A and B are shown apart, each in its own frame.
Chain A
């Protein structure tokens, strides 16, 4: 008998159908990957299994967990099941823990809730044991730590410790590594796999990233718009890629945009020995002010028409460098020149030669402005800002060049999807016909199929307008597919740079090697798909 069996599950929220007849089963000790793009209903399936659904949700069908029907269970019964029979790990470790309780209290709570007779001391000991199993040894991470004293990966380990404290039969992990750096991601995935194998625990691993599950899951179910598209054992699925959607997903994940190689060597952007210090808070009232050096003498050139990648993990100084190049933040020493002029002066003549596209297509637009106004915004940097018909034409041209229609100018931003918004952000960057566009994790928040389209668009625009890109990302596969050269940054320094293919195939620096080794890789796939 299966551990978790979902039969013909349908779910609607306030009458809007979210899941349509979803069925799959997880056997004891099986790692089951549930894959889908945003809006596919993969998280809702998990929440339905836990019966932690938003208000207004109504389920039909059957969910059997360990022989018990979850849909007919009372709230009291459900509270006994949650945390005891099923543990859950979430996407966002930064906010998944209560900020005002120690990690010890939070892990011990799982035990105390389900076994109320347990003494405080026994609960502590078992919390320590759970944290140790999640590789947070209490010698280094005492129970009295608060979440804010831990890194993202460490917090995720605390959440995992909470979920496995009672050795549940099933662990549901909803995008457990999406918010983490590649090396941390690799560690957390190894940990989850080890725990599942050690305890013979079943696991439902939900992710949008095919590569993450490819070398972990025994079985994969692929969902789209609330329906199961394909379900098969992992090896078989990748070997056959039967369903067209699975194929499309696979191709989008490994997508390589067509680009003309660039061999120009006129530097457009010169970054010379840039140092940036941040003052640290004083330790005592009269102690001297200490400095944190975020950039330790960074130097590189970006050539005209080139696409240059910048990779590194969070906290390595990527964002500081981006802000410095944009002239948004002062630098302590060194110089940054765009086309021979310093960017630190903030002069419009310099600033209009570069534009930026940010990660979040939802947060980076003013929701009260129409697209026309949003796209035309950079015009304040122009010497003579066009008005009337000329302005409309410029906006229309920019929208057309990113594959949107001129009529879209009269719409508001909420009328567009994530991918379309990112196109609008690119249109906004293009309108001044800049030489350089900084793409700060510009495709990280997008689904793979949308990401492939945006990468194609970027490649096309660069060929068309001889644009240069500085492509900042933590996603190595994306950087590999779209850049000519790459810089690898660690702790405020560029530790390796060179031709992208060379760096990826023969990395010299140990840090680059560890990054590349940690990145999840897709299996080859069948001959006809590659």
Chain B
């Protein structure tokens, strides 16, 4: 398992280096000068020059790349051009909203999808299966902002049991903060849970038709025992892959939901930074998100190793 982990770790580091080069090159290679781009077309020559100096754009490219990387490694992400505060500070603040929201939504997704998927697979073709499949179809087809608005209408306006938006901050207490994140998390989770339910169901159905399930039944296991003891773990690999992808998506892709609920999250931050041409902010946040995605994938691959002994030993 140690060797397996080390090999995964090696590809993780390689991926990070490549990603940082690509992001850096994108910002460098966009046509025109970043400073004049950030200031807009009406900017004066000396203001542009001052900004170039401030951003260190007059240094050679390799030096800039390394100072960017070493800066990030020591927690210095540069200073935001629009906010005039360190990027790291803003990002950390936003991360405290986006990360719990993503985890919350992912937990809900798993809590819905696992039982629903297993239930549907074990009663294939029944009314239960058909209803679960119908519900997931709806969950995938309906956009999550519509769920969000519906949830606000029912739970915040009619019944008044959840706030309709905003985030009080963690200083107000854990439960108050979680309370505020509940509706957004549900709205984010419903489509993801629908996808994951279908993956869980089809993966489990594939596994249930395997020869070793028949072997288990011939040993005297009931249908349920065969499913729990033999099918479930084998069905988990594709499910884990999807969970990894979903987490990355939930972390960065919640822009619309963050807007519906007025949440100060990462998605809104990137969106604003792009529209305000705050390249330093964009560069750093994108790198951070890439980092998160790669780390999540790394963790998912480690769990493959836990599930599948062959992966663990063979490589």
Contacts and interface: CB of A to CB of B under 8 A. Distances in A.
Interface of A: 50, 52, 55, 75, 79-84, 87-88, 90, 92, 95-102, 109-110, 113-114, 146, 148-149, 159, 162-163, 281, 284-285
Interface residues of B, number: 29
B214 interface: yes
Contact of B214 (A84, A90, A162): A90
Contacts of A50: 218
A80 B150 CA distance: 52
Contacts of B7: 285
Nearest to B237: A100
A90 B310 contact: no
A99 B310 contact: yes
A98 B208 CA distance: 11
30 contacts: A52-B217, A75-B222, A80-B220, A81-B220, A82-B219, A83-B220, A83-B221, A88-B218, A90-B214, A90-B218, A96-B211, A96-B215, A98-B212, A99-B212, A99-B234, A99-B308, A99-B310, A100-B234, A101-B230, A102-B309, A109-B216, A109-B221, A110-B219, A113-B221, A146-B310, A162-B219, A281-B314, A284-B3, A285-B6, A285-B10
A95 B229 contact: no
Contacts of A92: 211
A157 to B, nearest CB: 14
Contacts of A146: 309-310, 313
Interface string B1-21: 001001100100000000000
A98 B220 contact: no
B221 A79 contact: yes
Contacts of B125: 55
Task: Identify the interface centre among B212, B218, B313: most chain A CB within 10 Å of its CB.
Answer: B218
Contacts of B10: 285
B210 interface: yes
Interface in B201-236: 210-212, 214-222, 225, 229-230, 233-234
A98 B216 contact: yes
B307 interface: yes
A113 B217 CA distance: 11
Nearest to B220: A83
A100 B233 contact: yes
A162 B230 CA distance: 15
Contacts of B84: none
Contacts of A99: 212, 234, 308-310
B53 to A, nearest CB: 45
B44 interface: no
Given A97-B215, A109-B216, A163-B218, 16 more contacts: A82-B218, A83-B218, A90-B214, A95-B211, A95-B212, A98-B230, A99-B234, A99-B308, A99-B309, A99-B310, A100-B308, A101-B230, A109-B229, A110-B219, A148-B309, A148-B314
B225 A113 contact: yes
A102 B309 CA distance: 9
A357 B125 CA distance: 40
Nearest to B225: A113
B221 A52 contact: no
